[in-house]
Amino acid sequence: MVFRGVPIVIDRPSLQVVKCGNTLEHPVNGDIVEAAKFKASLSRDPGKSSWNVIFRHPQPHESYGPPGHRVRRGLKTADEPIAQRMVDDLNQILAEPSLWTPAARELALRRFAEPVVRAFYDVLAPLSTDFAAIREHEVHLPTRDEGFCQVLFLGTFGSGKTTLLRQVIGTDPVRERFPSAAPSKTTTAEIEIVMLQGDFRGVVTFLPKEHVRAYVEDCVLAAISASVDGRSDRDVARKLLEHRDQRFRLHYLLGSIPLDADDELDDSQEGEDDGGYELGIEFGDEPEFAFNVPEYVSDIRKLSAEVVSELSTALDVSPDKAAGDERDSFEELLEEELRKRESFHEFVDRVMDDIESRFALLQNGRVQGRPDGWPTSYAFDSTERKDFIARINRFSSNNGRLFGRLLTPLVQGIRVQGPFATRSDDQLIHPLVLIDGEGFGHASNTATSLPSGMMRRLDHVDAIVLVDNAAQPMQAGPGVILKALVTSGHESKLRIAFAKFDLVRGGNLRTIVQRQDHVRASLDQAIGNVGKALSRSAERTLQRAIEGHVFYLSDIRKASDDLSQFTRSQLAALMDSLLRSVAPAASAQSAPIYDEANLVLAVQRAVEQFHEAWRARLGLPSKAALPREHWARVKAMTRWISQLNQEGYDSLTPVGDLEQAIRDRVYVFLENPVKWEPGTDDANTRALAVAAVCAELNKRLRDFSVRRIIQQRFRDWAEAYIRYSGSGSARNRARAVDTIYDAAAPVPAETPDAYGNEFLLEIRLLVREAILAGGGKLLSVVPA
């Protein structure tokens, strides 16, 4: 690495070890690392009696990250001599590469203490948890074959989708507050609600420990950066307690920032409950937790001062005077230096221990956990509604009065079942499964696709409710959703609910009909934009799909008894529409006939669309009108893909982007068959047939995109993360990511090319399968 023209040496963990005696070969730079360098050490946290062992794992499974992955495990003993003997056992394992395979576990158990054997060999196994299967084991998710309608709620953050969900299940917006709603990012985990007579049941699945630690490390690094900038203690604490992408909020777990002497409490919510009802508890009956934020801020100050002093001396640069690329390089060097230091990891360990202590709140239920003690799920039953809501709110609430006692940031998913009723006065329980996921991001004007996981949900649900803000209708985000529904063949499932209709005001909008027309004009414009991006036929298909499926809802933040008659009638119409969506779907009476020769141009344009968008994000020459992503977000993406086994980071989702690019261009190909058999001019028949093929294609795209973008290039992603730092690292990493995309999705060219031809053939086979499974036919046959 080079900073200001001076080479700086930074030790790096290897990507994959090649064993040769007692040495390891680094696959990127070929350096030889002695196995003896992997040493375990004993540690104990301040104020704790039990001992821990800390070591760098020489050969973890790739789902944990590259070799050198740091492992910290409790030894479950307060006796130092016993703990030291366990550490000695682990050091023997680390000194013998012949023991570094899963097959050697039984041999190790005969020679060494069980806690250290588990600490080493658990990390050799894949880190994989089927969260959906865990939830299904505890609470069944019924399907249309059982008479239930599965409904997916989509919308941007703050659109009102969770507030609408509250109306459907009849929860009180003040006293129960389930699920939680707010203008900012609130729902960051999927919530599934089964409306069914009987007792209440619930199951919560938790984020993997590695993901939580990654978020905590990001927060600590951001707090240190704020300290380096000379920001106030309050700003440093704020950076620590809320992740920069608002997906992880430590203050829910650890408590709020202490109030300054001159802070004034907001009295606008004086009439609201103090939170005791929401959790159904007397706070004195709960475990006591230390409030460590002021101490954390003090330690962050010390850590940042120590590291910055050393870096400033070594690089001859003052961070407060560095600017532009030089400042970016300094920040990246600071991050790398911190990640090398045991003091940084010890600080993160303390925060993680503080977080893990909150699992003591998991009482009176069924807890499943990993070998290292981190819970994977918590399930419970209740016969009383108040008790059930109080307990489930522990995992979904955003009530500031409860900060320090909430587990919300740790939740991966929630599934509940019970006699939820749509109206408090008639207690009618509809056979519905309601699914509320994370909102489509604030930066939706830069997003070109829905996340891949969300697209998979579209295949299985019976209805999709797109909730939008009527006061600011149909911005870029809903437009992306509309296009995705058409190209995936799911437009017939679409219902549109405009929340906050009471905020649609103006001197020219004096009647309800005038306000409806005003909002509908924005919807028509958004549908027209889909037509411009795809085709006029797509526009007409969407217009037909939403006929009779648009609803306008005023002030749904109120309790159901306080709603206006107009809103009640609109909610009733929406419910009726949802319940009718489980009726048997009509089948197309005519089959589209395709010639695969016409597919080549569609694939070429799809891949070009994907590359242009990503080159713009990476800051490389591009025709796409997308802003450049910050270097830290691009780096985070390479880390989350290579070390945390994810498909992207936040809104940076290359797998979903490739899928959407292919759907966009192949849709145009699919809606223009060479002929119909039997011939038909009926627009509904044609749209139904094309949608069937598009839906089949959507089912197949994810495995293809994941394999091409990630699985076949996992090592390249790891190299893109660890290789580059210092001056020019952002450009070099951007080029490395672009190279990955070039190899994963080569643009088919006029001149035959082995890689391009292979990619084209794979897509042709994929489309061919979709056409035949969707009821279409082919004129030509793909060569084997």
**The predicted structure's pLDDT at residue 691:** 94
Angstrom distance (rounded) from CA 549 to CA 543:
10
Angstrom distance (rounded) from CA 660 to CA 105:
44
**The predicted structure's pLDDT at residue 270:** 41
Could you state, in order of their start, the residue ranges of all structural domains in the chain? Answer: 2-124, 143-191+431-580, 210-258+277-361, 591-778
Q: How many CB atoms lie within 10 A of CB 586?
A: 10
Long-range contacts of 577-581 (CB under 8 A, 24+ apart): 577/463, 577/495, 577/548, 577/549, 578/149, 578/151, 578/430, 578/432, 578/463, 578/465, 578/495, 579/149, 579/430, 579/431, 579/432, 581/149, 581/462, 581/463, 581/493
* Neighbouring C-alpha atoms within 13 Å toward the C-beta of 376: 15
The encoded tokens of residue 565 equal 């008659």
∠ CA 313-315-319, nearest 5°, is 80
Peptide bond into 142 cis (omega under 30): no
What's the helix, strand, coil split of the chain in %, to 5? 50, 15, 35
**The predicted structure's pLDDT at residue 287:** 67
Q: Would you state the torsion angle of the CA atoms of residues 454, 458, 464, 469, taken in this order, to the nearest 10 degrees?
A: 30
DSSP-H helix ranges across 368-472 = 385-392, 452-460
Which residues have a Cβ under 8 Å from the Cβ of 555 and sit 6 or more positions away?
500, 502, 563, 564, 567
Mean pLDDT of 423-433: 75
> Residue 22 — very low, low, confident or very high, per pLDDT cuts 50/70/90?
very low
Mean pLDDT of 208-221: 93
Which residues have a Cβ under 8 Å from the Cβ of 750 and sit 6 or more positions away?
none
The residue among 132, 556, 172 whose CA lies nearest residue 389 is 172
Residue 168 has pLDDT above 80, yes or no: yes
**The predicted structure's pLDDT at residue 327:** 72
Residue 752 has pLDDT above 70, yes or no: no
Mean pLDDT of 762-776: 94
Least confident of 23-32, 150-159, 479-488: 23-32
| Superfamily of segment(s) 143-191+431-580 | P-loop containing nucleotide triphosphate hydrolases (3.40.50.300)
The encoded tokens of residue 770 equal 């979709």
pLDDT digits (tens, 9 = 90+) for 343-390: 899 999 999 999 999 999 998 899 999 877 899 999 999 999 999 999
Going by DSSP bridges, is the β-strand pair 675-677/463-469 parallel, antiparallel, or unpaired? unpaired
The encoded tokens of residue 188 equal 């960051």
Residue 146 has pLDDT above 70, yes or no: yes
> Residue 194 — very low, low, confident or very high, per pLDDT cuts 50/70/90?
very high
The residue among 495, 659, 482 whose CA lies nearest residue 574 is 495
Angstrom distance (rounded) from CA 155 to CA 162:
9
Mean pLDDT of 221-242: 92
Mean pLDDT of 267-272: 45
The encoded tokens of residue 13 equal 């963990």
Residue 433 has pLDDT above 70, yes or no: yes
> Residue 331 — very low, low, confident or very high, per pLDDT cuts 50/70/90?
confident
Burial class of 88 by CB neighbour count within 10 A (0 to 12, 13 to 18, 19+): middle
pLDDT digits (tens, 9 = 90+) for 51-103: 999 999 998 887 676 788 888 888 889 999 999 999 999 999 999 988 998 88
Residue 218 has pLDDT above 70, yes or no: yes
Residue 586 has pLDDT above 60, yes or no: yes
Residue 190 has pLDDT above 60, yes or no: yes
- Give the Å distances, CA to CA, from 13 to 26, 245, 338, 599: 9, 27, 14, 44
Residue 782 has pLDDT above 50, yes or no: no
pLDDT above 70 coverage of the chain, percent: 86
Least confident of 126-130, 511-515, 763-767: 126-130
Mean pLDDT over the full length of the chain: 85
Angstrom distance (rounded) from CA 7 to CA 14:
20
349, 45 in Cβ contact below 8 A? yes
> Residue 400 — very low, low, confident or very high, per pLDDT cuts 50/70/90?
confident
Angstrom distance (rounded) from CA 759 to CA 463:
34
DSSP-H helix ranges across 122-156 = 131-138
